[in-house]
Amino acid sequence: MDERIDRIRAAVEAHGAKVHEVKPLHGGACQENFRVDLEVDGQPLRLALRSDAPTSLPNSIRREAEFDVIGEAVKAGVKTPAARWRTKGLLRPGADAYFLDWAGGEAIGRRVVRNPELEGARKALPEHLAESLAKLHRVTPASAPHLGVSRPTQGPARTALNELRRQLDGVPGVYPAVEFALRRLEARLPTTEETVLCHGDFRTGNFLVAPEGLTAILDWEFSHFGSPYEDLAWISMRDWRFGRLDKPVGGFAERAPFYAAYERHSGRTVDQAQVWWWEIVSNLRWAVGSVYQGERYLSGEQTDLELIAIARRNVEMEFEALRLIKKGSL
């Protein structure tokens, strides 16, 4: 750890800044993050350092590409901190990293959905999040051809199912519930689709909340070009409600005000059937993703116990996918 902190100090000082403190940030199960307190031209400044971890989940982009995505999101007016000082090989050979402007607020999901001091924020979040999401979805492959993120080859829905199949074939074991759900989704592919820039992990826990509302959207590592319904559905997954099952949007709101706000800011009409289809996809993605998290631990390359704890929850997502199928008679 000391060697990595020394490297971070050297990288910051190369930009003419003076480092006061470097501390690892915990709570993320995918990448490595540090808080860096420094001084620039005599003024105090706090940044976050974000670096590639030794292993990652399928479809996680490198920090080099994530840096460009953040730049595009900032340009589009999304409420997200700006990135600076992209660098290679900072924490280990071949690992990309960058520094991110610091934003205040609460990110821990159970606190966001329950803390009394955030009650007013929860009322404002549907509007704030819908506005930023609508701005992000104005970015398309044509408007941002330089972004190094995946693009659907056969339409967003078909591409999503193909990728799920590829990931499922890459993990040990047999998952009949996922196989069954995939077949049912195949029979109801959306027929009308757009392709936009998606956050890819748009949920409670990946944005910061203060008493006045949203302060920043974070964690862009699963960004890709896909359907706008991917982000609209992901935030409503049961797993991201943190026990507040009565609030289907992120554990803090009903669906109607969130979708209505998105319609106002985006100019799109939200198709509830597509939200439902993508919500099933979301549960399958996280069911398989949970297994991958466990494999990262079992490989011996990473020792974070959170990874193995996540893996045991894949059955929860399988159950939810089947429940949604039964509810919608898919």
pLDDT at residue number 314: 82
Same domain, 142 and 41: no
| Domain co-membership, 116 together with 97 | no
- 74 and 151 together in one domain: no
Quote the pLDDT of residue 47: 95
Given a contact cutoff of 8 angstroms between Cβ atoms, the answer to whether 84 and 96 are in contact is: no
Q: Dump pLDDT digits (tens) for 167-198.
A: 898 888 888 999 999 999 999 999 889 999 99
Domain boundary among 101, 121, 140: 101
Q: Which domain holds residue 192?
A: 109-328
Q: Are residues 92 and 162 in the same domain?
A: no
pTM of the model: 0.91
Residue 71: name the closest of 61, 81, 85, 62 by CA.
81
Average pLDDT over residues 3-24: 88
Please, which residues have CB within 8 angstroms of residue 199's CB and are 6 or more apart in sequence? 133, 136, 206, 217, 220, 222, 223, 231
Residues contacting residue 154 through CB under 8 Å, at least 6 positions apart: 162
What is the pLDDT of the chain when averaged over all its residues?
A: 91
Task: Tell me, yes or no, whether 56 and 174 share the same domain.
Answer: no
Here the tokens at position 53 are 């971890």
Residues 148, 10 within the same domain: no
User: Do both 69 and 155 map to the same domain?
Assistant: no
Q: What is the pLDDT of residue 300?
A: 61
Which pLDDT does position 321 carry in this prediction?
A: 95
Could you tell me the CATH number of the domain that includes residue 6?
3.30.200.20
Q: How far apart are the first and last CA of the chain?
A: 51
Burial label for 222, CB within 10 Å (0-12, 13-18, 19+), is buried
Domain boundary among 101, 117, 132: 101
Residues 87 and 127 in one domain: no
- Answer whether 285's CB lies under 8 Å from 301's CB: no
Q: Which two tokens stand for residue 217?
A: 């959207």
Burial of 219 (0-12, 13-18, 19+ CB in 10 A): buried
265 and 127 part of one domain: yes
d(CA 147, CA 252) in angstroms, rounded, equals 32
Same domain, 161 and 56: no
Same domain, 89 and 178: no
pLDDT digits (tens, 9 = 90+) for 146-161: 999 999 999 999 999 9
Q: What percent of the chain has pLDDT over 70?
A: 92
Residue where a domain stops, chosen among 76, 101, 126:
101
| 3 state SS of 148 | coil
- Label residue 304 by pLDDT band (50, 70, 90): low
| 138: helix, strand or coil | coil
Residue 330's pLDDT is what? 47
Q: Is the pLDDT of residue 243 over 60?
A: yes
Any idea what the CATH number is for the domain that residue 229 is in?
3.90.1200.10
Sort strands 32-40 and 83-88 into parallel, antiparallel or unpaired. unpaired
Separation of CA 229 from chain center:
14
Pair (129, 206) in one structural domain: yes
How many structural domains comprise the chain? Answer: 2
CA distance linking residue 262 with residue 196, whole number of Å: 15
Spacing of C-alpha 285 from chain mean position: 13
- Judge whether residue 28 has pLDDT over 60: no
